[in-house]
Each structure stands twice: as C-alpha cells, then as structure tokens.
Copies of this chain bind each other. A is one copy, B any other.
C-alpha cells in the first residue's frame, strides 16, 4: 500500500507542477507580458492544461485510486492519507467527465478572451466581446452537460467552486439575505451621504504601496513567500506553499482602491500560505472553496481592515505617511469615509453592504444566460435594468457596466460570483467564533496585533487545506452550519453606529 501511496503522490505532484507552471504563466500574462506575447501564451496555457488534464484523467490514476479506496476507508476520516485519497478520487471522478479537447478549448479560449477584454474594456467595446462570450457560454454549457442529472445547468459549475452548493440553495440563501439587507440599505440611504472627499486627494503610488505592504506584513502575510505586483484586476495566485503572490492596482486619486485591494488579496494569500506544508503537491494543498476563500479576503479587508479599533491604531501612521492629505482629517471622518454606503456601479469598489446586491445581479444573470432565458445580445440591457432596479443607479457605459469584471471574459459563465457573498456571510461567522474563543482579539487589533486572530484562523481553517468539505470545515470551526445572522448582526451594529440610526433584525 505504501508503494501505491507513493505512486499516487508522484502522479499528483506532476499534475500540481504542471498546474503551478500554468499559474506562473497566468500571473505573468496579467502583470508583465508584452502585448506580442498573447497568441503564444494562449497556446502555451492550452498545452499545459491539456497535459494536466491528460494526467488528471489517466485511467491508471483511476485504477490506483480504486486500489487505495479500501485502505482509506479503514483510516479515520481526517487522517491525511484518507483525505488525500478521498479528495483525489472526487477530483478524478469530476475530471474524467470533461473530455480532453473541451478542456484544451477552454484554456485557449480563456486566454484569448482575457486578452481581448483587456483591450475592449478601456475601449468600451461590448460588441467585440459578444462572439467571445457566445463561445464562453457554449463552452460553459458543454461543461455542465458533462454532469447530466443536474437540477440547474449552473449546478455543476457552482459545485466546482463551492463544493456542496446548488443554485436552488443559493437562491434561497440570497433571498433571505436580501430581505435582511434591504431595510439596512433603505435606512442608510435615507441619511445624508457621508463625505468621503478625504480619500480622493492625490496619494502617490509608491507611498500607497509601501503603506499597504506594511499592514499586510503585520497581518502575517509572509513576503519571503510572496510578493505584490500591479495588475488591472487584483488577484492572489499560488505557485507553491512557498510562493503565494498577490496583485493590486493603485489609483493615485483614490486611497481606498489600492489599499483595500491589498488587504483583500492578502486574506486569500494568508489562507494559502497557511496550509499545512505536508500537503504540498497534492489537491489537499489549497483553500477548500470560493466561499471559504472569500471569507478570508473579506474578513481581513472589511471586518478587520475597515473596523474602528484597527484604524485607532493605524490612522496615526497613515497620517504620518500622508501628512498634507490627512493631517487635518480626524479619525472619525476618515473612518466614516472608508465605510460610506453608497449604491454604485462597480462591484469591486462597492461598500460592504451594497456589495452583495452586485453579486446577486451577476448570479441571477448567469443563471438566466445558462437557462437560455436571457440572450447575450440582451445582456447589457438586462444588466442596466437590474442596476437601476436594485441599486438605483444608471449605467453610463459598458466599461463600468457589463464589461467591468474579468470573470466572464477569462473563464466560464456560471459559478463565478456566488462565492463572494457566501464569503461575506462566512467572514462574520468565522470572526464571531474566533472572538468567542479569544475575547482579547479586539483589544489586540486596537494595538495593531493580529497573531491571535491569525493563529485561530490558521488552526481552524488555513492549515486544513481541502481535507474537509466546506460544510464540514464551517461546522468544525464554528460549531454550526453556515448562517446569515452573524453577518447581518455585524452589519446592523456597525452601520447603526456609523450613521447614528436604529437597525434591528
């Protein structure tokens, strides 16, 4: 059995090496690649994807896993070998359903579509992207159809990113969340808007970068095992436990843009840096789902990075970094500015309350596109209608409308967005559990110390990688299944104080 386990690890390691190489190529494509590199890069990524796919679906791997299954079933559920065999088997079952040519087509199309989008978005050119989207939708449906028996064609795609979730469950969850959010937003928008002009002064790029990097270093992001670069659309990416990178973007006329992107991506990256290094090279060695991943980025960005205790500590340092811009701005004015709730156009710029409405719009449109009840040529109109209805804003162009997010233009349609709101929900549930175990966490945050919180997250979430399912992990870490109440409670308490209003559940 030892020899078979050794062979399994070697096979998984090779797959991981190829996928990690592809991740380096993807990172380079988004950060430093010159325009002329695009056609070959698409082909190179397609080749690596094909090689990884062939190995991930090798019948010999299937036979090996079948031989190992009885062994794994004798072990405790959370034994690393049992988890490895279980997760590898689950991935194998999923992968063998997707034909190699389809996987290769997706990789090539994704790279080409992403490249076209990087030009079409600044040019405000939706028409150019329509054929790309048509193809993306077709490929997405073909992937879904590899998993017959679904309730909704989005279900298999959702299952890829948020294992164990389904469209119907999320629709219900989102409906209940919306019911909780609507009165909060209604009460807030009835108040005079917060003045956040202190954030819109001129903040030089390098000072912004240095300040953000200093904060995430204190959070516990390890720069010996990572780095930050600039991209259009910030992301975190992992090449090994020892090399987990983030990207950000800087707007010299908006302090919040780059700073909170950096905090956000550092949450994703700390999760990946915190996985047990013994899992390196196996499918256990990564965050377990989009939702749990997003819970970490949102926890560090919002629940910590936009909290009052946090800024009681860091604001004097920020003022020292930008004395002319912020020297005369009181903490309370700054704190209110970074927490201003204002229905708006851009998801990634949205405040944490209305953010979820952006996600729900995309989630609903994805489902409609996959169902065929919405045609791609009608997508901008549907998008704009929902923004008018849900957020009360008028979408002026494609650039800040339907073209704003990379997801549909560099991946599949379906399964890409629900994780953001699942993450918001979970961020509050996890933080509440950490606080219950360590009531001193809030005082520590007020001193700029994060070791207890980071330690709890590493112990209960990060180190486990993909050993448990998302639902198992949530229950083990918090003692309960996913629930929306901690998140709604968090929002009500925070925004009642900021806006001086009563918000009750």
Contacts and interface: CB of A to CB of B under 8 A. Distances in A.
Interface of A: 13-14, 17-18, 20-22, 24-25, 27-28, 32-41, 43-44, 47-48, 51, 222-227, 229, 239-243, 245, 280-281
Contacts of A27: 28
B32 A229 contact: yes
Given A32-B229, A34-B223, A227-B34, A243 B40 contact: yes
A43 B51 CA distance: 17
A306 B449 CA distance: 56
A36 B224 contact: yes
Contact of A39 (B18, B51, B227, B240): B240
Contacts of A32: 227, 229
Contact of A14 (B34, B47, B223): B47
A44 B238 CA distance: 13
Contacts of A224: 34-36
Given A28-B28, A34-B225, 11 more contacts: A14-B47, A21-B22, A34-B223, A34-B243, A35-B225, A37-B240, A37-B242, A40-B241, A41-B239, A41-B243, A51-B51
Given A28-B24, A28-B28, A51-B51, A17 B34 contact: no
Given A41-B239, A47-B18, A51-B51, A222 B36 contact: yes
A25 B34 contact: no
A52 to B, nearest CB: 10
B36 A20 contact: no
Contact of A225 (B36, B223, B240): B36
A contact face: mostly helix, strand, loop, or mixed: helix
- Total copies of the chain: 2
Contacts of A14: 47
B226 A17 contact: no
Nearest to A22: B21
B41 A240 contact: yes
B242 A38 contact: yes
A37 B239 contact: yes
A25 B25 CA distance: 8
A226 B34 contact: yes
10 A-B pairs closest in CB distance = A40-B240, A37-B243, A36-B242, A36-B225, A17-B47, A17-B44, A36-B224, A34-B227, A21-B21, A37-B242
28 contacts: A13-B43, A17-B48, A18-B51, A20-B40, A21-B22, A21-B25, A21-B48, A24-B24, A24-B28, A24-B44, A32-B227, A32-B229, A34-B223, A34-B225, A34-B226, A34-B227, A34-B245, A35-B224, A35-B225, A36-B224, A36-B225, A36-B241, A37-B225, A37-B243, A39-B240, A40-B240, A41-B239, A44-B240
A224 B44 CA distance: 19
A343 to B, nearest CB: 39
Nearest to A19: B44
Contacts of A225: 34-37
Nearest to A225: B36
A125 B95 CA distance: 49
A340 B37 CA distance: 39
Contacts of A44: 17, 20-21, 24, 239-240
A40 B229 contact: no
A332 to B, nearest CB: 38
Nearest to A32: B227
A227 B34 CA distance: 7
A82 to B, nearest CB: 25
Contacts of A241: 36, 40
Contacts of A43: 13, 17, 281
Nearest to A48: B21
A160 B503 CA distance: 75
Contacts of A18: 47-48, 51
A34 B273 CA distance: 13
A227 B32 CA distance: 8
A132 to B, nearest CB: 20
Contacts of A240: 36-37, 39-41, 44
Contacts of A239: 37, 40-41, 44
